[in-house]
Structure 1
Amino acid sequence: MRISGKGRGLLAVTAVGVTTVMAVTAGGGAVAATSADPGPKGPAEATSPISSKERKGNFDARTPSNRATYARAAKAVGKETAASEKFRASLGSQGVVAVDPNTGTPEQVTKLNGFLTGKSSKKATEIALAYVKAHPEVFKLSESDLGTLKLRKDYVDDLGTHHISWVQVVDGIEVFGNGLKANVTKAGQLVSLQGAPIAGLVSQAQRTRGAAITADAARTAAARDIDAKLRTAKATKSGAVTKWSDGGTAKQVWFHTADGLRKGWLTYVTAGGSKSYSHVIDAQTGGLLYRRDLVAHGNGDALVQDNYPGAAKGGTQRIENLIYNKWLPKNAKTLLEGTSVSAFADVNDDNEPNPGETVKVPGTRTTAEYKLVPFQSSSSYCAVTFVCTWDPAKPDSWKTNLNQDVTNGFYLASNFHDWLAKPPISFTPAAGSFDAAGGDPVLLNSLDGAATGEGGGPDINHVNNANMNTPPDGTSPVMQMYLFHAPGADDEQDTYLPSSSSNDASILYHEYVHGLSNRLVVDATGNSTLNSIQAGAMGEAWSDFYALDYLVAHGLEKDTKAPGEVLMAKYVSHAGLFRTQAIDCRVKAVSDTCVGLDGSKGGYTYGDFPAIGGAPQVHASGEVWAQTMWDLRERFGRSYALSLITRAMELSAADPTMLDMRNAIVQVDLIATGGKNAGILWQVFANRGMGWFAGALDGGDSRPVEDFHIPPTGATSNITGTVTDKDTGAPVPGALVFIGGHASGYAGDYSAVTGADGKYTITNVLPGTYGKFVVSGAGYEVLGKPLTVKAGGTVENIASRRNWAAASGGGTINAFTGPDFSPQCGPGYAIDSSQGTGWGSTTGDDIGTPTNVMTPKNLDIALPAAVNLTKFSIDPSNTCGDPGSSSTGKYRIETSTDGTTWATAAEGEFTAANRNQFNEVTPTANTTGVKFVRFVMLSPQVPDFATNCPDGGYGGCQYTDLTEIQVFGTK
């Protein structure tokens, strides 16, 4: 069992002898970051010693790092029958059939310009199931499989659309993740089917062994995986679920991987601080099958403010009765435990309301409570318009406003709960809202960690941030609101206002919206699928959008026709830029707050995704989506824009790209108006680079290709060609050929597999220039480039280099040093031709003890033949959910003709700029007749490694990783 590290952000070091080449890239691991992190242009950037902790990221053994291997996808596409191809064609040029590479069943079947069925008066569930039964050529579900479906939810939104989900159950145990989802209009039209249900489930379950480890052992393994210390807790059994008194749970589930069905334990562990994770632990081996970071990084008369202390609008405390508004019960006296929020000051960050941390219900017979006490001498940034609420230089000064801080946070969260429940958002209990009656009120921890540091203040991990974890419906989320401005840092080192995030409505509302998006974008079993970098970026963008929409709609912030006015976290950044740009920056807008880090003027487009913050990152990269949502608000008005955006989350494919969400928004308009606004919607997205020909491989693709065209009309075309070996000219059979971003990635539409002669044909393609045309053959490199498809047909022949290291072509791991973290990230993943998996190792000893001295780790690859080498191609990225600093930094490549005598062929150093892509390295010596290649990791990408480790918070102090190595040459 691999033990996780934790740490803080990373800086780049200088690369040596590395050339970056165009390559197909994926995110290389899901992003888990606290949601209120300042953008790289934020006020704390200059010389602040403060940065967010690196966290263990997400992991999914079904599609590691949310990206299936091309080999699995090729296998799925290769099983297409004439009947299934006929079905695809029947959906037209904007039809979508996305096939899950593991199950071979659809992840999504839908149309962007129409419905799958006509109007019907039958029950929505009957309509959906009838369609599945009518098309066994696509869904592949037998009567036995249909018998495993158990209705979990039939929720009707405010447009009348039914959002239905079925879980699959065998022997009383539910399948995790896979199932069936359907969306049916109020008129009985089938919009889409999703979920990748498992075919042959009953027979697979009969062949699967029972559990060998207990629920308690699974809980322990999950905690160990995230390097968490569990508190002693009492266990009780409630049906199939084991519950612990600390809030943790465990229950058995079926878990389907590419290698078949396994029995696992689904656990929820909350271990203090912000360590709240869901896991699926293999019930036989105790190994890791799934990990998801749930944190997104954020008598009754009370004195509250609606915006922030000192704001021109909503900046003065006023009286609000918490009982009259039904946020507290009538008999509430001692605790702020309300109908949707339970609030206290978690100053020691143990997630428990200890003595001195709770707040009495405000209000006396004669006065409202609690008046804010300003600390205007604590910083040069304090002003009448930006009131400081504590002094980082004075021990325990945060205690002065503790009651006010908690009460204000309680008010804001309760108020926002009610606002989100109203149309057009309609985030109600049926949709998954947070309510005490449903057993899942928001647990609001104000002043989180305020007493964790020396000298009566917060430590560096409890400042300048906020976060919220969101478990599935029925389990309470935890919202942690931190102080801003680090003790010991002057105003040049930390330029944030000495304040609290519970007093900044934009930050608290931002955190709350993570709950909205994580409850609406879910799989068939109700688990959030916002896992990858594009999905995570949209999560941050939605949080900014809904928060700022509220403030503008209530006249608390100004938004005129001038661009660049609407700023996130205006309070803590004292009117500076918290993100890199304002949310209302239109494309080509001219404003000081609409300038990118590179000096470019105007709002962002899709192609800016990897560069907005200098490197792909959910907060910065998400700004293009936030600005696009604001475009919709300006074009359609806030009410219809909010309806489009919210309802699209409910229609969304799992782990969506921004292109997937574009499609869902177009479909919402189809439901609401019959598609009257489709042309305008496509133009809005095309203006932001998300046009018809834009390309993205999947949600993990951190380098999408932009396009500015609306969907073309007219006849479709075909792409034909031959894939050959670049060196020998021989045909390459079984290669996957596809167009990324349409509409379902590389195992669905716009894809084909080469035959024995290397030939392929992709049919029903609309003409135009597509950004990502991709080819991947067994034992060959992955190639990606733009392709222009012409009316009447296009011939595209591809010559691909043999990758002699690839396992699919005969490469094998001959030896390695360091620990073996199989099955989730063993050495073999470095040669599996997928940038979604990789080899995870340690920096020092085999158990991951943090160190500032690298113990070199080497990987020896036996090639299937003797090769005269020409190039190496390396993706040095972090993997297995490790943070970015775990990427390979310094490296050496050695070669051998016999596996015994080794000589250096190349060496250098990778930086953050080299992550999530292949980087070509030219060997300088020892290239002839090579039978073995050794890759040596000499350091992680920890800045100033010797100083920042072992006690620094960098994951690279514990782990060093390699995502993929390719070896090219001639036999």
Structure 2
Amino acid sequence: MCLLFVTQITYTQNLKKAIAKIDTYHKELTNSFQKENTKKYTEKDFSNWVITSDHVSSTSGVHHIYYRQTYNGIEVYGAEASMHIASNGSIISKNNDFIPSLEEKIIGGKSPSLNPLNAVMAAAAVSKYKISENLKIVDIVDTKNHEFIVSKGGISSSEIPVKLMYQQNKKGDVVLVWNLSIDDIQGQNWFSYRINASTGELVDKNDWQVNCNLGENHDHSLETEYSTNSLSKEYEVVTMEESLEEYYALLGGSYRVYAMPIESPNHGSRTLVTGVENLTASPYGWHDTNGAPGVEYTISRGNNVYAYDDIANTNNPGTTANGGGSLNFDFPINTTWSAGNRSLPAAITNLFYWSNIIHDVVYQYGFDEASGNFQQNNYGNGGSQNDYVRAEAQDGSGTCNANFATPNDGSLPRMQMYVCNSRDGDLDNGVVVHEYGHGISNRLTGGRLNSGCLANSEQMGEGWSDYYALLFTMKSGDSGPASRGIGTWLVGQAGNGPGIREFPYSTNMAINSHTYSRTQTAVVPHGVGSVWAMMLYEMTWGLIDQYGFDPDIYNGTGGNNISLSLVTEALKLQPCSPGFVSGRDAILAADIALYNGANQCIIWAAFAKRGLGFSATQGSTNSNADNIQAFDLPPTSFNAPTSFCVTEGVQSGLSGGTPGGGVYSGPGVTDDGNGSTYSFNPFTAGEGSHTIIYTSSCGGSASDTILVTAAPAAPSITNDTFCAGDSVTLTATPNDINNTIEWYDATNGGNLLFTGNSYTFSPVGTTSVYAEEVLSPIPVSITVSHSNSQDIGTGSVACGAGAGAHTTSSYWRVFNLSGSFGITDDFNVNQVQFGLQSITSNFTATVRLHSLSGAFTTSNLTLLASQTVNVAPANNGSVISVPMSVTIPAGTIVVMEVFTPAQAGNLFMMGSNPNGENAPSYISAVDCGINQPSTLASIGFPNIHYVMNIIGEGSVANPCTGLRAEATATADNIPPIAIAQDFTVFLDVNGQATISSSNINNGSSDNCGIASMSVSPNFFNCASIGNQIVTLTVTDTEGNINTAQANVTVIDNLMPNIGTASNQTVSGNVNCQATLANYTSLVLATDNCGSPTITQNPPAGTLITGTTTVTLTATDASGNFDTTTFNVIIEDTTNPTINTIADQSVSGDAACQGLVGDYSS
């Protein structure tokens, strides 16, 4: 089985291309269904499902997505839903048959007590099959999903798929079941069973094999299993390089057959046909299987069909027709069948030919690989392969009958053709098409992996099959009123015989009087189906009357081609288990998808003629006895756009008229001629209100108005300046004081900033904003309704089982004015309406409007208005209008209540709309045991189509966009006032000095404030000594700058530093004199501004006598000086000179001693 789980998604190649879109559709599915079924479904119901299949239609481009409900990851049999999305993203159709409040309905164990083998044995016991071989599990397909393949057991022609599922039983309980199918080895049935996984009891049984027993009543159900080989191998598509002639020579065969459109030997002769293969549908011919030029089979076997006899009733291939290497299938025939003269090769050739023809034709109308057709090799075009048709000629399992068994895509279908007395059904081409038609309708309804969707009583499977048989055998010269029987050859009638249905098909009511009500007592399914086929036949001839008949069934454009397109596409659009109304609506939706609704009235006229008109109701599709026919056409309605601006240009592709197929007219209108759309030129129409008329081809007309308005000029504005961090207010004055101003951040588009004449904000830097004058809203009349029509039908749901009328009841409807109806302004109500179906005497009802805040409970309702109204039996079946005046504030969720108090004998039944609604209704009723609502979940009967409307006056936005005026908030651009002063700076010991702006600033100022000041240069050294010009730069908070200059006097006032010198000793001359040397080198001197100059005093060369003090002076460039002193001492190094004197004598004393005298002189 190929399923795509929400939490674990596994897509085949063709699905991967649509992941992004599918995610969007999933949200749409959940949101849409929850919105429309607030009471009926829980959040869990829409949070647990799988996708069973999806594909994009090759004809309409509609993306068809099919869902199945799950619980704890286990699928729920029969709980189906679908979404159908047009290529432009709009929803063409949606269907939902999920089980509401599923979890509450589940009973019994949530895990199986029986294993798959037990389940097969239980099913065999139900049908009294005798198991003759040991049962065993031969394959575990998916352990997580409990999916197995069980051996044949001697009871089945094919292995038995078994899968764990849930199913709702006849009591409404949901139980765990084993879903399995047994292909009866006798070829009589192919039953699908749901066996209770806990008890082994039979919950449900359907027969996949559709038997066409000349209209006898029989169960009509089909396969619901998923194929175990449904994941197809993707084949590369081979490009054909050969010419068509060469290619046909490789693939084409010759077939002597009753060629299309000949219905049987009663309707024409056999011919030898060649080149009948359609390369679009069968690109490699009818005998290919590998997707390469050249045939794989020369017998009646190929990619689409394997035709053989099953006279022995073994469900296995017997004799085939063999065309040899030249594929020449030309065999003699005796049309009078007997056991001794079967003409098998000729019969098998005819069956092979027609089965391929049907395949190729319906391929053109969208029954292709992706949608689940029958092919061995899908050539890489999506879908699941390995499911060619097994066409069994002269099958031995019965007589005067035929059948078709349709398993899911990827599993082999089987068609069994029987003989009837002396007639061979293989030669009744209408019957062949009929049987193949079952395969078409079952594969397309509900998706290719859900073939069990046509098992309900009102399903129309037999009708579609008859329809295809009629269309494939239709020919030029036929007419709608002529009588056409089905199966005339098989049952031994003449070609113009009445056939096997109650009436032959004819648009002449005197020949075929079928209307919808006939289905109530008709045999199921053939009698029911024949009524549907008659309706389709009626529609086909209506289309042929309009467009003619085209014998080119492949590519023609006649009414017959359009009919085939509509019916085939509608099969994909309709819900699982459809009824006549849902089938009709699917055809109408297909017409919108394929032809923009151009054929709506033709379709309606055909169905209305046969009782399936606008007011017809189908009731439950599980019953064919509860429908109500009606012969009315839909009322013509037209909703035009409210307004356009005169400058908007031509508006194309407008629509709004229903039913489709009509013509639009009025000022500025050009009808597009397609029955669906028109264009409107506001400039041509001019300013003012214009009436546009839609004339339906159904005979009615309706009108609506379009208001054309003029765009206002740009408003006048005032600009302003601001300082950083401050707010600024810009103003705009509208041309009309009744209009408003909207402020945006761009000249076109952009973001809405504010609404109002004055816009105050805090910009960062100079900022432009744009003021646009918005015209006042346009007043319009508004009817708020959830009903699809205002017709009052019969059979409204009442208490209990639906019989009787209500007393002491309240009928409720919820209207989300902004969310559902786009009403964003105050809503001025002037009247309310409700439908009255039936009362028995004069009665007084009360109509109330409440506002709702929060959940739907009594405590959350606030009464807005109340009005009583007297009604009488004469009002039955009509819509009652009740005046009521109240203004409902914008954004209000409104609850309308119709209260009918209990009065003895005064029974009241609310009127319901037979054509559906787009939101649920509710009823609380004492006689139903339901009182005033505590929550929506506590009141009953959702989805009753009560007619309840609120009418009043509202407004819509004017479409004209005014010119925008630019308003600028300018950041302050006035430079600051810069004032500078002179300054003196002294170099430091390093010969450097710096200053700051504060040293130079002398009172600079700014209106917004000064952000910063700087001075340049601000660094000085010895080279700067003297006067320097500096610049003071002042910057304000907006970045504006101004400068001023000043003189900075750089002064070096630091003395040099001179070292000390020791005293110096010099030698004097003979005069004791000396000359001073240069003593400047005796010391070192440093200075902050380089090396100072050292001078000496007395200078060198000075003649000194005696000790002399010398001063050394270090002087820098600025005149700063420092001194040091030392003494220079003269040293006498010359010996003195003394004169020579004569010896001197002195007198001695007695001792011979004498005194020395002074001789120095």
TM-score by length of structure 2 reads 0.45
- Out of 284, 287, 302, which is 1:327 matched to? 287
2:367 is the alignment partner of 1:427: yes
Distance 1:742 1:346 in 2: 56
Distance 1:470 1:350 in 2: 18
Secondary structure of residue in 2 paired with 1:213: coil
The structure showing larger relative contact order (alpha-carbon pairs under 8 Å, at least 6 residues apart) is 1
Tell me the equivalent position of 2:167.
255
Tell me the equivalent position of 1:184.
85
Larger relative helix fraction: 1
Distance 2:607 2:834 in 1: 18
The amino acid that maps onto 1:165 is Y
Give the 3 Å change call, closer, same or farther, for CA 769–285 of structure 1 in structure 2: same
Distance 2:297 2:123 in 1: 39
The amino acid that maps onto 1:265 is W
Give the 3 Å change call, closer, same or farther, for CA 278–616 of structure 1 in structure 2: same
- The superposition leaves residues 923-947 of structure 1 with CA deviations (integer Å, 9 ceiling, x where unpaired) of xxxxxxxxxxxxxxxxxxxxxxxxx
Structure 2 unaligned regions, length at least 5: 1-17, 213-250, 378-384, 544-558, 639-788, 814-831, 839-873, 882-897, 910-926, 928-1161
Distance 2:90 2:468 in 1: 30
Q: How does 1:512-661 map to 2 (within 5 A)?
A: 512-522=436-446, 526-535=450-459, 538-553=460-475, 558-560=477-479, 562-565=481-484, 568-570=487-489, 572-575=492-495, 576-580=497-501, 584-589=505-510, 594=511, 602-610=512-520, 615-636=522-543, 637-661=559-583
Distance 1:446 1:633 in 2: 31
Task: Report the Cα offset of residue 465 of structure 1.
Answer: 1.0
Q: Retained in 2: the 8 A contact 1:565–1:584?
A: yes
- Out of 226, 242, 246, which is 2:127 matched to? 226
Task: Report the Cα offset of residue 476 of structure 1.
Answer: 1.6
Tell me the equivalent position of 1:293.
207
Give the 3 Å change call, closer, same or farther, for CA 317–226 of structure 1 in structure 2: farther
- Out of 432, 436, 443, which is 2:376 matched to? 436
Give the 3 Å change call, closer, same or farther, for CA 301–281 of structure 1 in structure 2: same
Secondary structure of residue in 2 paired with 1:429: coil
Q: Retained in 1: the 8 A contact 2:486–2:501?
A: no
- The superposition leaves residues 519-544 of structure 1 with CA deviations (integer Å, 9 ceiling, x where unpaired) of 12227962432223321xx2111111
Distance 1:629 1:199 in 2: 34
- Out of 184, 196, 209, which is 1:282 matched to? 196
Give the 3 Å change call, closer, same or farther, for CA 309–193 of structure 1 in structure 2: closer
Task: Report the Cα offset of residue 301 of structure 1.
Answer: 4.7
The amino acid that maps onto 1:315 is R
Q: Retained in 2: the 8 A contact 1:521–1:649?
A: yes
Secondary structure of residue in 2 paired with 1:191: strand
Tell me the equivalent position of 2:305.
341
2:180 is the alignment partner of 1:267: yes
Greater CA drift, 203-212 or 514-523:
203-212
Q: How does 1:479-498 map to 2 (within 5 A)?
A: 479-485=415-421, 498=422
The amino acid that maps onto 1:711 is P
Give the 3 Å change call, closer, same or farther, for CA 229–441 of structure 1 in structure 2: farther
The amino acid that maps onto 2:210 is A
Task: Report the Cα offset of residue 305 of structure 1.
Answer: 2.7
Distance 2:271 2:833 in 1: 59
Q: Retained in 2: the 8 A contact 1:277–1:292?
A: yes
Q: Retained in 1: the 8 A contact 2:286–2:356?
A: no
- The superposition leaves residues 205-251 of structure 1 with CA deviations (integer Å, 9 ceiling, x where unpaired) of 89843111121221222233234445647641142332235322111
Distance 1:363 1:766 in 2: 75
- The superposition leaves residues 372-399 of structure 1 with CA deviations (integer Å, 9 ceiling, x where unpaired) of 332xxxxxxxxxxxx32x23xxxx325x
Task: Report the Cα offset of residue 160 of structure 1.
Answer: 1.2
Larger relative strand fraction: 2
Task: Report the Cα offset of residue 294 of structure 1.
Answer: 1.2
2:670 is the alignment partner of 1:706: no
Give the 3 Å change call, closer, same or farther, for CA 215–745 of structure 1 in structure 2: farther
Distance 2:458 2:32 in 1: 34
- Out of 480, 500, 510, which is 2:424 matched to? 500
Tell me the equivalent position of 2:610.
688
Q: Retained in 2: the 8 A contact 1:570–1:577?
A: no
Distance 2:400 2:467 in 1: 20
The amino acid that maps onto 1:564 is S
Greater CA drift, 752-761 or 229-238:
752-761
Secondary structure of residue in 1 paired with 2:343: helix
- Out of 358, 376, 388, which is 1:416 matched to? 358
Structure 1 unaligned regions, length at least 5: 1-119, 375-386, 453-461, 486-497, 595-601, 716-738, 771-785, 801-808, 810-971
**What is the number of residues matched between the two proteins?**
576
Give the 3 Å change call, closer, same or farther, for CA 743–281 of structure 1 in structure 2: farther
TM-score by length of structure 1 reads 0.53
Tell me the equivalent position of 2:998.
none
Distance 1:229 1:370 in 2: 44
The amino acid that maps onto 2:528 is S
Tell me the equivalent position of 1:150.
50
Distance 1:667 1:180 in 2: 17
The amino acid that maps onto 1:427 is F
2:166 is the alignment partner of 1:242: no
Q: Retained in 2: the 8 A contact 1:343–1:410?
A: yes
Tell me the equivalent position of 1:123.
21
Distance 2:519 2:108 in 1: 45
Q: Retained in 2: the 8 A contact 1:124–1:188?
A: no
Task: Report the Cα offset of residue 308 of structure 1.
Answer: 5.7
Over the aligned positions, Cα root-mean-square deviation in angstroms equals 4.3
Q: How does 1:758-837 map to 2 (within 5 A)?
A: 759=809, 761=811, 789-792=877-880
Q: Retained in 1: the 8 A contact 2:481–2:507?
A: no
- Out of 307, 320, 336, which is 1:359 matched to? 320
Distance 1:442 1:149 in 2: 31
Give the 3 Å change call, closer, same or farther, for CA 335–465 of structure 1 in structure 2: same
Distance 1:227 1:242 in 2: 23
Distance 2:320 2:592 in 1: 49
Tell me the equivalent position of 1:7.
none
Tell me the equivalent position of 1:697.
619
Give the 3 Å change call, closer, same or farther, for CA 469–708 of structure 1 in structure 2: same
2:131 is the alignment partner of 1:211: no
Task: Report the Cα offset of residue 755 of structure 1.
Answer: 9.9
Tell me the equivalent position of 1:509.
433
Distance 1:217 1:654 in 2: 30
Q: Retained in 2: the 8 A contact 1:584–1:630?
A: yes
Distance 1:274 1:543 in 2: 20
Secondary structure of residue in 2 paired with 1:217: helix
Distance 2:569 2:192 in 1: 26
Q: Retained in 2: the 8 A contact 1:269–1:276?
A: yes
Secondary structure of residue in 1 paired with 2:539: helix
